[in-house]
Chain A
Amino acid sequence: MLTIKDLKASVEEKQILNGLNFEVKPGEVHAIMGPNGSGKSTLASVLAGREEYEVTGGEVLFNGEDLLEMSPEDRARAGVFLAFQYPVEIPGVSNANFLKTAVNEVRKSKGLEALDSKQFLKLMQEKMKLVEMDKTMTQRSVNEGFSGGEKKRNEIFQMAMLEPSLAILDETDSGLDIDALRIVANGVNALRDGQRSFIVITHYQRLLDYIVPDFVHVLYKGRIVKSGTKELALELEEKGYDWIKEEVDATFNA
């Protein structure tokens, strides 16, 4: 589904990703962990198409197509979804209106009829249950005045509405208390259907107790330096990142 080959990217002239290789098959859940500044969020931003990130080498294929050539909206329409680490507040645009526009744009790109208000409302009510969303949240402006937990729930709600084939969760657990974390994780798990793939970027192992990954990768200095299964996450939780840093730095300095 997603193939990343030797990806190099920089922001403000500073190279962050240094030849990253990575593959995601349908239905897989990959966790990407790593210390601060290792390039986790840069990877998410590059995959979603943030313009301030410059790709300086490598390629990213999504279902065989060059993802990097696509505009952010085309990536979303093709089925890539980024759950933002810091969801943006957009005063004056209601959540419902925003989502209706987005859902119908995505449907249009697939050659499907636009949903009318009634159909949309039905879909929304169904998906709201997944993340225990309050009806008033859909009537409010996008993320405006939402708590940290509400913003993250809103991200998962949007994901449920847009039904992407690949979802990238960028530190969705950051700033969440245990109840909010459970709600968000339940929402994600409900969307695991054996076909949809996930890249879960996180700093802490905690989230992975709830969203159990098939693979765990450690990102350090813009490369994946270690891959394993969920046990690797537990090891990291216990031992921290220093032993990996030392291992990697020793190899490169040798």
Chain B
Amino acid sequence: MSTVQNSKNSRVTSELFQKWVNASPRVSAFGDVIKDAAQAFLSQGIPTTKHEEWKYTNVAKLATTEFAFSAINNTLKKDDVKEMKVTADAVIVVVENGIINKEASSMEALPKGIHIGSIHDLAENAEVKKHFLQHADYKTEPFVALNTATFSDAVCILADANVEMETPIQVMMVNTCIEYNDYVPVRILVVADKNASIQVVETFDSFSHTNNSIFVNAVSEVVLAENAKVNYVKLQDDPINTTHINYHRVAMVRDSYQHLTTLSLGGGIIRNNLNIRLGDVNGTAYLNGLTVARFNQLVDHHTVVDHAMPHCYSNELYKNIIDDNAQGVFNGKIFVRKDAQKTNAFQSNKNLLLSDDASMNAKPQLEIFADDVKCSHGATTGQLDDEALFYLRARGIGEHAARALLNHAFAADVIEGIAHEGIKEKMLDLLNEKLK
């Protein structure tokens, strides 16, 4: 595979991706945007570590790997995905290799006012027309551009005004491709209309434990109308051969509330780009994140919280547990624009290094242009407290169990923030498994 490099070597593209983005759009209704995104990708390419935002996360090998699209989306049945359900009653949308598998999904009993389906079925819906492909910025984000130019299916979740749904909606991304290196573009649109309230869970898993590389390129756009409330959990438990690049954009207007928890527990390279825009007064945004990385995993959380208007609140809590040779990256940007007076913006990043070879790069960035605001940030990186470890052992708790208990204690408050009891319990169980 030959690659094309620009003079500064801050980006690379492969002929393969060039070919794909130049192919005719798979979702014709949005052809113009898709073609525009293709051009945006060709001019941006795949970033190298010379690119400031990609300094610690080397994804250049994506340009030299021979990927293929998998067109298979019908191997999974309901029974196959039962284990991965976040709660027994959850509405499930199974996305197999980037394409919705209706047969494996459980979308029958939707409450009135909740619409879930493929972009191919909902392209004419007014909300979809208004918001689909409109929020994630492909002009500055190369992987958003690539995703926008190459996705073949998308999950749309729409909540009408005043609809409150307590039951979780789970978008279950599953990879089943075993024959070749698989490129999986995934796309999700969530729109919560006025006063609507929903719980959404994204899960990433794989049935394909081979040596082949998997490249997941996921983009989620979440749009909240006035006073809407969205609780969102992203669970990333991909196999080690996966490079997972995830862009999550939340567009908020007045009085809306969003709570987002990202749990990165697996994968080879995971890069999360979270971009929350508080676009009108009185918005509330929580961003919680937890990494448990071992072996030679790399997990990179890049977050942007953009306070554009006054009287908004944001609170960010990120914790990373890094073991073995694994690497963690946290880059948290907070913008407080000139008009955003009376902003409250808080950020906390705590990291635990469990081995001498584990590493963590933490960079909080606050850019404040308003003068009447309350903002704080803090980042700490340390090791497990030896005194606490000894204390637990001196009470008869074995070393391994004592370590697990302390790691769990360190991490648990990130998950405790999840409002839905069932989801919270499931996530705490998963964390326990990971820390065993």
Query: Which A residues contact B (CB, under 8 angstroms)?
Result: 48-51, 71-73, 75-77, 82, 84, 87-93, 98-99, 101-102, 105-106, 109, 141-142, 158, 162
Does residue B89 face the partner (Cβ distance < 8 Å to A)? no
A-contact bits for B390-417, CB 8 A (1 contact / 0 none) = 1111111111011001101110110000
Most buried by B among A71, A87, A92: A92
Name the contact of A98 in the complex, choosing from B385, B387, B392, B399 (C-beta under 8 A).
B392
Q: Which 4 interchain pairs have the tightest Cβ spacing?
A: A92-B409, A76-B396, A102-B395, A72-B393
* Residues of the B chain whose Cβ atoms lie less than 8 Å from the Cβ of A91: 409
B395 touches A162 (CB 8 A): yes
Name the contact of A88 in the complex, choosing from B385, B396, B410 (C-beta under 8 A).
B385
If A72-B393, A98-B392 are given as contacts, then 7 extra A-B residue pairs at C-beta distance below 8 Å, sorted by A number, are: A77-B396, A87-B391, A88-B387, A90-B392, A98-B395, A102-B392, A105-B397
> Secondary structure of the B side of the interface?
helix
* Residues of the A chain whose Cβ atoms lie less than 8 Å from the Cβ of B405: 93, 98, 101
Shortest distance between the CB of A89 and any CB in chain B (Å): 8
Does residue B81 face the partner (Cβ distance < 8 Å to A)? no
Does residue B72 face the partner (Cβ distance < 8 Å to A)? no
Bound-complex Cα distance A48 to B394 (A): 7
B395 touches A50 (CB 8 A): no
Does residue B4 face the partner (Cβ distance < 8 Å to A)? no
* Residues of the A chain whose Cβ atoms lie less than 8 Å from the Cβ of B401: 101, 105
Does residue B388 face the partner (Cβ distance < 8 Å to A)? yes
Which residue in chain B gives the minimum CB-CB distance to A143?
Answer: B391
Bound-complex Cα distance A219 to B184 (A): 71
Shortest distance between the CB of B108 and any CB in chain A (Å): 37
Most buried by A among B390, B394, B397, B406: B394
B397 touches A84 (CB 8 A): no
B396 touches A90 (CB 8 A): no
A92 touches B413 (CB 8 A): yes
Q: Name B408-431 residues within 8 Å CB distance of A.
A: 408-410, 412-413
With A72-B393, A76-B393 known as contacts, the answer to whether A93 contacts B406 (CB < 8 A) is: yes
Bound-complex Cα distance A52 to B66 (A): 53
A109 touches B395 (CB 8 A): no
* Residues of the A chain whose Cβ atoms lie less than 8 Å from the Cβ of B398: 73, 105
B409 touches A73 (CB 8 A): no
* Residues of the B chain whose Cβ atoms lie less than 8 Å from the Cβ of A93: 405-406, 409
* Interface pairs (20), CB distance under 8 Å: A49-B393, A51-B390, A72-B393, A73-B393, A76-B393, A76-B396, A88-B388, A90-B388, A90-B409, A91-B409, A92-B408, A92-B410, A92-B412, A93-B405, A98-B397, A101-B397, A102-B396, A105-B396, A105-B398, A162-B396
* Residues of the A chain whose Cβ atoms lie less than 8 Å from the Cβ of B385: 88, 90
Shortest distance between the CB of B390 and any CB in chain A (Å): 6
Which residue in chain B gives the minimum CB-CB distance to A75?
Answer: B394
Bound-complex Cα distance A77 to B391 (A): 14
A-contact bits for B348-391, CB 8 A (1 contact / 0 none) = 00000000000000000000000000000000000001011011
B394 touches A90 (CB 8 A): no
A71 touches B412 (CB 8 A): no
Bound-complex Cα distance A101 to B406 (A): 13
Shortest distance between the CB of B321 and any CB in chain A (Å): 13
B388 touches A82 (CB 8 A): no
B399 touches A71 (CB 8 A): yes
B390 touches A50 (CB 8 A): yes
Which residue in chain B gives the minimum CB-CB distance to A161?
Answer: B395
Most buried by B among A49, A101, A162: A101
Bound-complex Cα distance A50 to B405 (A): 19
Name the contact of A90 in the complex, choosing from B399, B406, B413 (C-beta under 8 A).
B406
Bound-complex Cα distance A93 to B405 (A): 7
Bound-complex Cα distance A244 to B390 (A): 35
Which residue in chain A gives the minimum CB-CB distance to B407?
Answer: A92
Bound-complex Cα distance A102 to B392 (A): 8
* Residues of the A chain whose Cβ atoms lie less than 8 Å from the Cβ of B395: 76, 98-99, 102, 105, 158, 162
* Residues of the B chain whose Cβ atoms lie less than 8 Å from the Cβ of A92: 408-410, 412-413
* Residues of the A chain whose Cβ atoms lie less than 8 Å from the Cβ of B412: 92
Bound-complex Cα distance A248 to B388 (A): 38
Bound-complex Cα distance A51 to B387 (A): 11
* Residues of the B chain whose Cβ atoms lie less than 8 Å from the Cβ of A73: 393-394, 396-399, 402
Bound-complex Cα distance A92 to B405 (A): 9
Shortest distance between the CB of B378 and any CB in chain A (Å): 15
* Residues of the B chain whose Cβ atoms lie less than 8 Å from the Cβ of A88: 385, 387-388, 390-391
Which residue in chain B gives the minimum CB-CB distance to A109?
Answer: B396
Shortest distance between the CB of B342 and any CB in chain A (Å): 31
Bound-complex Cα distance A96 to B401 (A): 16
* Residues of the B chain whose Cβ atoms lie less than 8 Å from the Cβ of A49: 393-394
Shortest distance between the CB of A44 and any CB in chain B (Å): 11
* Residues of the B chain whose Cβ atoms lie less than 8 Å from the Cβ of A75: 394
B409 touches A102 (CB 8 A): no
B390 touches A90 (CB 8 A): no
* Residues of the B chain whose Cβ atoms lie less than 8 Å from the Cβ of A109: 396
A72 touches B409 (CB 8 A): no
Shortest distance between the CB of A31 and any CB in chain B (Å): 22
Bound-complex Cα distance A48 to B391 (A): 10
